[in-house]
Structure formats: C-alpha cells, structure tokens
Structure 1
Amino acid sequence: MINQPRIEPAFREELLHALVDCVAQHFEEAADYAHANGLQASMQLRNETQAELKLTLRRPSDGTPCCYRITSVPDSHLVLHEKSYGRDVQRLQAPLDSINHTLVETELAAFFIKAAALPLDYIAERHQPGFF
C-alpha cells in the first residue's frame, strides 16, 4: 500500500475556501479575457485528497497547454503556485495568506505574458502604474 501525502483536513478546508472565495473569480475573469482574445481557456476546481484550482490556456496555433495551478504542498501548511509552459515549470511555495487578490492578479498577469504574450489590460487598469 502506498502512503498518500497527508494534508491536514482543516488546512485543506481553509485552502478550498480561499480558492473558491478569492482565486476562482480571477481565474474565471482571465479565462473570459482569453476567450475574447482568441485563446482556448479552461478552469478546473478539484477537491479530492488535495484542493486544487487550475487554469489552462492553449493558443489555437499550437497545442501546447500552459497551466497555472494553486494547490497544497503535502505534509506542510504551504500552498504551491505552479505555472507551466510546456516543459518550463515555475514553482513558488508560500503560506496560505499568499492567496490574496493582489498576488493572484500579479501572478496571472505574468502567466498570460509568458504563456500567450497577452497583457491583462483590465488588471493594469485597477492598479497604479508599474504594478507588474
């Protein structure tokens, strides 16, 4: 029998709450923006052994998916912000309070620039010049 990484139930619930209450609205808004700009985008929320929210982008010109996901780090009280661009993967482990509107918007803006060379203009309009 293989041991599954352990996620404390209370932490998992806090993470799920943060994903639903904070991140989902930003991922949804970004997916809508991607569609309006000719990209394929999908969002997936999983709540199995680990809570996870994932946004996937694809350009019609190539089939390589780019993903930004937020999930828990097993055996810790940390979350993982992971952005993948084909074989290039960037990971950032951070405390649960890293799931906030400002950080998520910053990470989404960087993700869209690298994944599709598409600036999220609506985010820039909400912040002071030089935000990202």
Structure 2
Amino acid sequence: MNSQENFRDALRVALVDCAALHFEEAARYAHANGLEAHTQLRNDERPELHLTLKRPSDGVPCIYRIGALTERNLVLHEKIYGQEVQRLEAPLESINQTLVETELAAFFIKAAALPLDYVAERHQPGFI
C-alpha cells in the first residue's frame, strides 16, 4: 500500500467516524427548522462527504464538501454558496469535532442565516 492509499483509507475512516455524524446531525437540525438538507458519502477512489442545504424559497443549494487532495495528502473543506466558493486545505487531523462543528456553524449562518444552537451549547461562550 502506498502513502496515497493509506491517506485515502485514513480519510474514509475520519469521514465515517467523525464528519458524517456531524453532517447528519446538522441535516436533521436543518429539517427541523424548515430547510431541505441531505448528506452523501462517496466511498471510492476519491472519498468525500457532502452536505447540501437549501431553503425552500431558494433555487440554488449551498454545499459543504469535505474531500481529498490525495496527491498532496491534504483534506479540502469546500463551501459553495452559488457562485462563491470558499476553500480550506488542511491536514487529515482537521476532521475533528471542533473544526467540523465550527465549519458547519459558519456554513449554516452564511447559507441560511440559521445558527446551530446545539453547537454553541457544547462549547464555551464566544465559540461561534
């Protein structure tokens, strides 16, 4: 097994064991607040996790995607808001509760003006 295969395997584990849980929780929260949301995990040669969020009145969904930059052994956190794209390249260790929740909270504020109250409750004041 080469280093890219090892990285892909480690990314798959991180996506399933950490990020997917937070994405699914955020999708449930979105549904409870009248938004359309779904998650999708792609588990092939380019593993990635998507959260698609849409207000019923909007035509264009917003997407938060965590994927691999396998050739560089980095993770790409990408948030898409229509024509605007925000990208954060980070090490594999960036897939952890704190960073994923921080990114999800920022994504929900920008995409739907919806604070993730349950995230703020888990952290000290001023976290978000």
TM-score of the two chains, using structure 1 as the length reference? 0.93
Q: What is the deviation of 1:8?
A: 1.3
C-alpha distance in 2 between matches for 1:27 and 1:59: 17
1:93 is matched with 89
Equivalent residues of 2:7, 2:70 under 8 A apart: no
2:124 is matched with 128
- Equivalent residue for 1:43, pick from 15, 18, 39: 39
Quote the sequence identity (%): 71
1:117 is matched with 113
1:79 is matched with 75
Q: What does residue range 57-76 of structure 1 map to in structure 2 within 5 Å?
A: 57-76=53-72
- Equivalent residue for 1:23, pick from 19, 25, 44: 19
Q: What is the deviation of 1:69?
A: 0.5
Query: Runs ≥4 in structure 1, deviation > 6 angstroms?
Result: none
Q: What is the deviation of 1:9?
A: 1.1
In structure 2, what residue type is equivalent to 1:84? Answer: I
In structure 2, what residue type is equivalent to 1:109? Answer: A
Q: Counterpart of 2:72 in 1: which secondary structure?
A: coil
Q: What is the deviation of 1:49?
A: 1.9
C-alpha distance in 1 between matches for 2:66 and 2:60: 20
C-alpha distance in 2 between matches for 1:112 and 1:20: 21
The gaps in structure 2 that reach 5 residues or longer are none
C-alpha distance in 1 between matches for 2:10 and 2:70: 15
In structure 2, what residue type is equivalent to 1:117? Answer: A
Q: What is the deviation of 1:77?
A: 0.8
In structure 1, what residue type is equivalent to 2:102? Answer: T
Q: Which is richer in helix?
A: 2
